[in-house]
């Protein structure tokens, strides 16, 4: 497999850094090709806007990100820093996002990688989403750390189910663009568990990475479960309740 790890942490000696290093080591040892986008080290610029396009805008009087992304991609005028990431993503069979959960989501530098690299024309377009998404056949996984406990991220926890917190990323970014999605590998409060706890987590992460084929993918309803209005058909709804990962 070709693997792309998009890594977003300002401190190389952080536990996120250790998880990234562990993934590179384990996956390389198993014969995979691993590429890392170290966004902080790259000084990645995360703000989507007119500078994402080289040359003239389609409409200089009204900037539409979707319109300009599509035209730039089709015309080979996407900014070089984005093209470099798109090329890595095209080659990847497995995409890993490695990040600390900051304010219940990705650090801005990683969100902006998604905003700019998952551009219209490249990552989605009319009629191409979910089961027919552009990246069908690829696999994605979140590997992240938290600042609060596993209890707080339980379905009845005060922070909300970790799968609800990650829903915008799992369903919204990955599944929308066609990926199959592995369950997240979540490390709770790595700063509070001591060296033994951290080593236990890294060992578990090694095992996860060494046995990805055996890990059940997250459940998302297939296209046929939805009616023409993109809501679950009544029979499906009665069977499954609201749409959620299980």
- Interface contacts to its own copies, rule CB under 8 A: 10-11, 13-14, 40, 46-50, 61-66, 102-109, 111-112, 114-115, 118, 130, 147-149, 151-152, 154-161, 164-165, 167-169, 171-173, 176, 191, 221, 226, 229-232, 237, 242-243
Measured CA to CA, the distance from residue 39 to residue 33 in angstroms comes to: 19
35 or 108: whose CB is closer to its own copies?
108
Would you say 83 or 108 has its CB closer to its own copies? 108
For its own copies, the closer CB: 185 or 220 = 220
The distance of Cα 136 from the centroid of its chain, to the nearest Å, equals 14
Give me the least distance between CB of 168 and its own copies, in Å please: 4
Residue 57 corresponds to which tokens in the numbers above?
Answer: 């805008």
Q: By C-beta, is 2 or 148 nearer to its own copies?
A: 148
Work out how close the CB of 241 gets to its own copies at its nearest, in angstroms, rounded to a whole number. 9
Number of Cβ within a 10 Å radius of residue 56:
9
141 and 98 Cβ atoms separated by less than 8 Å: no
Output the 3-class SS for 89-100: HHHCCEEEEEEE
Closer by beta carbon to its own copies, 147 or else 183: 147
- Report how far residue 21's alpha carbon sits from residue 193's, in angstroms, rounded to the nearest whole number: 19
Instruction: Give the nearer residue to its own copies in terms of CB position, either 217 or 221.
Output: 221
Minimum distance, C-beta of residue 61 to its own copies, in the bound complex (Å): 8
CA distances 42 to 34, 81, 244, Å, are: 17, 10, 36
Strand partners, 143: 98, 185
Rounded least distance, CB 79 to its own copies, Å: 14
Smallest separation, CB 189 to its own copies (Å): 12
**From CA 113, how far away is CA 14, in angstroms rounded?**
21
Query: Biggest alpha carbon distance in the chain?
Result: 58
Least distance (Å) from its own copies to the CB of residue 220? 9
Residue 161 has a CB neighbour count (10 Å cut-off) of 15
């Amino acid at each position: 497999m070709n693997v792309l790890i998009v890594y977003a942490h300002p401190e190389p000696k952080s536990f996120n850094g250790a998880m990234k290093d562990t993934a590179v080591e384990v996956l390389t040892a198993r014969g995979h090709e691993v590429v890392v986008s170290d966004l902080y080290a790259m000084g990645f610029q995360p703000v989507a806007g007119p500078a994402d396009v080289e040359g003239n805008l389609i409409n200089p009087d009204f900037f539409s990100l979707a319109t300009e992304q599509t035209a730039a991609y089709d015309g080979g005028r996407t900014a070089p820093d984005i093209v470099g990431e798109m090329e890595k993503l095209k080659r990847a069979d497995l995409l890993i996002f490695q990040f600390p959960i900051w304010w219940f989501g990705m650090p801005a530098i990683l969100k902006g990688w998604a905003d700019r690299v998952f551009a219209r024309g490249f990552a989605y377009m009319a009629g191409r989403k979910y089961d027919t998404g552009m990246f069908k056949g690829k696999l994605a996984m979140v590997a992240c750390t938290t600042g609060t406990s596993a209890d707080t991220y339980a379905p009845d926890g005060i922070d909300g189910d970790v799968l609800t917190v990650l829903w915008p990323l799992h369903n919204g970014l990955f599944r929308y663009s066609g990926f199959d999605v592995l369950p997240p590998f979540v490390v709770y409060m790595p700063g509070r568990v001591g060296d033994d706890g951290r080593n236990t987590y890294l060992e578990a992460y090694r095992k996860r990475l060494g046995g990805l084929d055996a890990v059940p993918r997250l459940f998302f309803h297939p296209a046929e479960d939805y009616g023409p209005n993109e809501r679950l058909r009544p029979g499906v709804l009665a069977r499954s309740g609201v749409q959620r990962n299980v």
